[in-house]
Chains A and B, each alone.
Chain A
Amino acid sequence: MSNDGPIQDIGEKHLVVPGTTFRKITEAVSRVTETPAPRGWWIMFLTALLFTGVLGAAIGYLFFRGVGVWGNNSPVGWAWDITNFVWWVGIGHAGTLISAVLFLFRQKWRTSINRFAEAMTIFAVICALIFPGIHVGRVWHAYYMFPIPNSMAIWPNFKSPLLWDVFAVGTYFTVSTLFWFTGLIPDFATLRDRSANRIRRAVYGFLALGWRSSNRHWQNYERAYMILAALSTPLVLSVHSVVSFDFATSVEPGWHATIFPPYFVAGAIFSGFAMVLTLMLVARSVFKLTDLVTMTHIELMNKIILATGTIVGYAYAMEFFIAWYSGNQYERYVFLNRAFGPYAWAYWTMISCNVISPQLFWFKKLRTNIPLTFVISIFVNIGMWFERFVIIVTSLHRDFIPSSWGYFHPTPVDIAIYMGSLGLFFTLFLLFIRWVPMIAIAELKSVLPEASAHHHADDHHGHDHDHAHAAKAE
């Protein structure tokens, strides 16, 4: 019955360092929220907060002056705004993949990193949601995006992928937040029960909703968690598919492609895992969680980066092939222009970061090398930003009429808003690390070998339960 242990024959390792006890997990994770923050945290937090301030100021200026303060022009009507939106939503996807898809596949190694990745999802989606909101120009009309009955007797167009986006990203944000909070309830209870002062006890007690670790509750709780995972799995695939519809349903050469949904989803997972790694490698060493987040985790994530990076590389190649194979001269031109036109620098940055750099992870030595993993994770983040930039801007900047061809230059406001969104993300993330258990305490305990009541018992044990249960039912 000991199916929780590693399968040594195929080289599986323990999920946490052997000898880890329940108490040790409680201590290691809770301690971070109970002791004063290290100086490094304060430096990072204040820097991030400064950038968040820049974001606020830049958005205020944007509202005051209008979207003309951006570099967007005709024909480049979408530029950094939508690039940032797609980039942030994509980053969020790894969190859901780790928390839901790997949960359904019983990939127990996810346990050490899922809380972290889910938090990243929520904060990334918050950053993403800013951009469609502020790019509409007259922001006081942003409520037009929602189907609200109004005195003009008009309704949004439900055939528009932009409206589908509102529903997809809104649902994604709500469901991710619910999933995250549900996972946090037992851990808030842990912090409540450990708290030495009344304020902590009151705040964490409030958040724990009076959780008393009852098995009658765990039963419904586990079912709820599984259902949420089952709902989130198709949801996460749908979200980036819908985002890709924003492009794919248009008749713009370079956008009008059926490969977009799977290609966007793979890219999303790719960029998200890179961001998880970037954040985790730092947090793991700053807060000394190397026993819980082990080299096995890092190596497995690097394998996923290698796999999704290769899928993305395949998609780039396939786009080129189909552009040629379609025989459509506009389509062919867009792709030649991407690789060899004025934006060739962006295209080849994307290829180097996304296609070439992850290939290093074929070598075990390299994918278990922490500094290199960190560098490549940053490369992938950069590469995936450029992917969205390339798709959006290179397709638009030379449209059907050569007389209206143009080039996009970002303005300081473009840059401030992008950097500011990074600031907001890190501000939220650093607050999370400081005040919320960043590793799922209860869940991690349940993957320890000691957590099984059966690990000494024989196979007849389960049968006895059935028998007794049936007898009682009579």
Chain B
Amino acid sequence: MADATNKPLTRVGPEGGTPVLLLAEYDTPAAVMHAAEKVRDAGFTRWDVHTPFPVHGMDKAMGLPDSRLGWIVATMALIGFSTAVSLITWANVVSYPFIVGGKPAFSIPSYAPVCFELTVLLSAFGAVFGMFGLNKLPRHHHAVFESDRFRAVTDDKFFVSVEYADPKFDDVRTRELLESTKPNHIEIVEDNES
């Protein structure tokens, strides 16, 4: 596609928008993976890969650090466990102690089920809502949705998007970089936002 460099790219997006993204479309996981490696090696930071399913090895191809979600979940697990211990101790040892079945008010074995369940419950909240937080979801507006071709990303197409806001971004050279990865199609996505 190198000979086509001079042809103007398709522009999609609302009237009067400014260019926000360069969006390149690929057919296979292997193609998008190689493209991702090239973009990574060129030192871009504000870019993304979009795939219909998680592609194994893509995190390395993009040079992403490990997910921080585990720390959120671990914190929530501790909060869940200590909430359960405090709740039971307050309720059945301090505020309203009573003897059932000859067991003392403070009876550790009977703590186990509720402590376990609350630990799991809060950890699960941490996993799901922590994931939303790290991914900044829900976010119903995003420039990529301006592209009609992009709707195939949840079916069988693979995309690389590079933001104009990236410090390394250059109108000509970024386009050449993406074209060298042999995409099906490249387009400029415009949006009204900043």
The answer to whether A206 touches B140 (Cβ under 8 A) is: yes
* Separation of A153 and B98 alpha carbons in the complex (Å): 13
A219 near B: Cβ within 8 Å?
A: yes
The answer to whether A227 touches B127 (Cβ under 8 A) is: yes
* Separation of A167 and B92 alpha carbons in the complex (Å): 16
The answer to whether B137 touches A209 (Cβ under 8 A) is: yes
Choice from B54, B87, B141 contacting A147 with Cβ under 8 Å: B87
The answer to whether B100 touches A238 (Cβ under 8 A) is: no
Choice from A153, A175, A219 contacting B59 with Cβ under 8 Å: A219
The answer to whether A193 touches B151 (Cβ under 8 A) is: yes
CB contact under 8 A between A186 and B53, given known A209-B139, A450-B29, A469-B60: yes
* Separation of A171 and B54 alpha carbons in the complex (Å): 29
Choice from A157, A193, A224 contacting B128 with Cβ under 8 Å: A224
CB contact under 8 A between A211 and B128, given known A160-B100, A171-B118, A238-B117: no
Q: Interface size for chain A: under 10, 10 to 19, 20 to 34, or 35 or more residues?
A: 35 or more
* Separation of A438 and B107 alpha carbons in the complex (Å): 46
Instruction: Bits for B82-97, please: 1 = Cβ < 8 Å to A, else 0.
Output: 0000011001100110
A320 near B: Cβ within 8 Å?
A: no
* Separation of A218 and B113 alpha carbons in the complex (Å): 33
The answer to whether B117 touches A210 (Cβ under 8 A) is: no
The answer to whether B144 touches A158 (Cβ under 8 A) is: no
* Separation of A159 and B70 alpha carbons in the complex (Å): 32
Question: Contacts of B152 on A, CB cut-off 8 Å?
Answer: 193
The answer to whether B142 touches A210 (Cβ under 8 A) is: yes
* Separation of A260 and B67 alpha carbons in the complex (Å): 40
Q: Interface size for chain B: under 10, 10 to 19, 20 to 34, or 35 or more residues?
A: 35 or more
B170 near A: Cβ within 8 Å?
A: no
The answer to whether A215 touches B140 (Cβ under 8 A) is: no
Instruction: Bits for B139-166, please: 1 = Cβ < 8 Å to A, else 0.
Output: 1111011000001111110010000000
The answer to whether A453 touches B121 (Cβ under 8 A) is: no
Question: Contacts of A465 on B, CB cut-off 8 Å?
Answer: 37, 57, 60-61
**Min CB–CB distance B109 → chain A (angstroms):** 9
* Separation of A178 and B138 alpha carbons in the complex (Å): 15
Q: Which chain B residue shows the least CB distance to A22?
A: B156
The answer to whether A452 touches B53 (Cβ under 8 A) is: no
Choice from A26, A160, A215, A217 contacting B156 with Cβ under 8 Å: A26
The answer to whether A228 touches B114 (Cβ under 8 A) is: no
The answer to whether B41 touches A155 (Cβ under 8 A) is: no
* Separation of A156 and B91 alpha carbons in the complex (Å): 8
The answer to whether A238 touches B113 (Cβ under 8 A) is: yes
A58 near B: Cβ within 8 Å?
A: no
Instruction: Bits for A144-164, please: 1 = Cβ < 8 Å to B, else 0.
Output: 000100000111111111011
The answer to whether A221 touches B131 (Cβ under 8 A) is: yes
Choose the segment among A10-18, A75-83, A440-448 that binds chain B (4+ C-beta atoms closer than 8 Å).
Answer: A440-448
The answer to whether B123 touches A451 (Cβ under 8 A) is: no
Choice from B91, B107, B121, B135 contacting A220 with Cβ under 8 Å: B135
Q: Which A residues from 195 to 235 make CB contacts under 8 A with B?
A: 205-206, 209-224, 227-228, 231, 234-235
**Min CB–CB distance B89 → chain A (angstroms):** 9
Question: Contacts of A460 on B, CB cut-off 8 Å?
Answer: none
**Min CB–CB distance A310 → chain B (angstroms):** 29
CB contact under 8 A between A23 and B156, given known A215-B51, A453-B57: yes
* Separation of A158 and B61 alpha carbons in the complex (Å): 51
Question: Contacts of B49 on A, CB cut-off 8 Å?
Answer: 214-215
CB contact under 8 A between A205 and B52, given known A227-B69, A238-B113, A245-B113: no
Instruction: Bits for A167-204, please: 1 = Cβ < 8 Å to B, else 0.
Output: 11011001100110110001001101110000000000
The answer to whether B58 touches A215 (Cβ under 8 A) is: yes
* Separation of A453 and B30 alpha carbons in the complex (Å): 4
* Separation of A466 and B57 alpha carbons in the complex (Å): 10
The answer to whether B120 touches A171 (Cβ under 8 A) is: yes
A468 near B: Cβ within 8 Å?
A: yes
Choice from B95, B114, B155 contacting A167 with Cβ under 8 Å: B114
The answer to whether B52 touches A445 (Cβ under 8 A) is: yes
Question: Contacts of A468 on B, CB cut-off 8 Å?
Answer: 37, 40-41, 63
The answer to whether B120 touches A452 (Cβ under 8 A) is: no
* Separation of A242 and B120 alpha carbons in the complex (Å): 15
**Min CB–CB distance B129 → chain A (angstroms):** 9
Q: Which chain B residue shows the least CB distance to A472?
A: B63
Q: Which chain B residue shows the least CB distance to A466?
A: B60
B5 near A: Cβ within 8 Å?
A: no
CB contact under 8 A between A221 and B28, given known A210-B141, A231-B123, A468-B41: no
**Min CB–CB distance B163 → chain A (angstroms):** 12
The answer to whether A223 touches B70 (Cβ under 8 A) is: yes
Q: Which A-B residue pairs are the 10 nearest by beta carbons? A: A22-B156, A155-B91, A209-B138, A224-B131, A465-B60, A164-B113, A193-B151, A453-B33, A190-B154, A446-B53
6 contacts between A and B (CB under 8 A): A161-B113, A170-B121, A209-B138, A465-B60, A466-B60, A468-B37
Given contacts A219-B59, A219-B64, A231-B120, 16 further A-B pairs with CB under 8 A are: A155-B92, A158-B88, A158-B92, A164-B113, A167-B113, A182-B131, A186-B53, A190-B155, A194-B155, A224-B131, A231-B124, A453-B32, A453-B58, A465-B60, A472-B43, A472-B63
| B residues lining the A interface (CB < 8 Å) | 28-30, 32-33, 36-37, 40-41, 43, 48-64, 67, 69-70, 73, 87-88, 91-92, 95-96, 98, 100-101, 103, 107, 110-111, 113-114, 116-118, 120-121, 123-125, 127-128, 130-132, 134-135, 137-142, 144-145, 151-156, 159
